[in-house]
Amino acid sequence: MEYRTVGKTGIFVSNLCFGTMSFGGNADAETSKSMFKYCRDTGINFFDTADVYSGGRAEEILGECIAECRNEIVLTSKVFYPTGEGVNDKGLSRRHIINAVENSLRRLKTDRIEFYFVHAFDDNTPMEETLLALDLLQKQGKILYPAVSNWAAWQIAKALGISAKEQLARFELIQPMYSLVKRQAEVEILPLAASEKIGVISYSPLGAGLLTGKYGINKRPDQGRLLEEARYKDRYKDDNNFIIADKFSAYAEKHDVTPSSLAVAWVMSNPSVTAPIIGARNIAQLQDSLGALDIKMTPEWREEISSLSNTPAPATDRAETLLPNWK
């Protein structure tokens, strides 16, 4: 296991982060705790959760897991999505953020969260109000650093400008979607992170299972997120994603590695990514992703794998600049 610093924070984290979205849902408490222990035995010290995962149960189980090793691990959680029936039980208002962090701390049985993510963008709350609330939580020691997920690069850049101007705590960690079938982060978010020295933990390195070898144009497993959850069906419904999955599976087989291990290793090899977030429903799935640690990804190998999918157009939309004669 390698350890890297998160941006400019000086905090060292494992180069894989374990995501606990399955805790209390697709993985019962016993399985969840077994996976946590397996991660710790492997050297992972970085764990990601959110207040809405399994209705808060994921935080509760993780809180039980970390009770004896709290000072050895780095913890994240998130705020934005509805946690109740009230009109103010969601979003990024100061009211909801303050209430949400108190509830997360209680469920996690801890006095602080290292990185606290805004889970999505809130059109109804001025950015300044959200940043003031996060700055207050940092001053109180309830969070160590604000973090951001599912925002566009321009939104993150605007927030960084406000934080600098108003001398507020800035985002020190970004959590974007990133995989061989979802590469939009390469256009602006990852360059922004590198430029501003902000850490990155990317989610869905397996494309919700698409890159596990179980999917293809004419291939589907008996169960999985892409079959069971509407948002994942919509996210990956384009036939081209399944064509890429077929090509990637064949490539992994040719190189005698499991598709899951190779997909995670490909994400890990991006120098702007601090750690991919891996998730699992059971130990077998976890072991597949952890296999990435045994793969030595060379620049040439990464380029070969990248060629299996489409390079996203540059932010300027001048796609001709991607051609060899324009480089």
Active site residues: 53
Residue with tokens 């891996």: 278
Q: Are 118 and 87 in contact (CB under 8 A)?
A: no
d(CA 141, CA 100) in angstroms, rounded, equals 15
Q: Which residues pair with 278 in a beta bridge?
A: 18
d(CA 284, CA 129) in angstroms, rounded, equals 44
Q: Are 252 and 259 in contact (CB under 8 A)?
A: yes
Q: Which residues pair with 147 in a beta bridge?
A: 117
Judge residue 165's burial from the number of C-beta atoms within 10 Å of its C-beta, 0-12 exposed, 13-18 middle, 19 or more buried. Answer: exposed
d(CA 76, CA 175) in angstroms, rounded, equals 11
d(CA 125, CA 92) in angstroms, rounded, equals 6
d(CA 296, CA 103) in angstroms, rounded, equals 41
Report residue 66 as tokens.
Answer: 């970390």
Judge residue 252's burial from the number of C-beta atoms within 10 Å of its C-beta, 0-12 exposed, 13-18 middle, 19 or more buried. Answer: buried
Residue with tokens 């001048």: 318
Q: What are the start-end ranges of the H helices in the chain?
A: 29-42, 57-65, 94-108, 127-139, 153-166, 189-196, 225-228, 230-235, 239-254, 259-268, 283-290, 299-306
DSSP 219: B
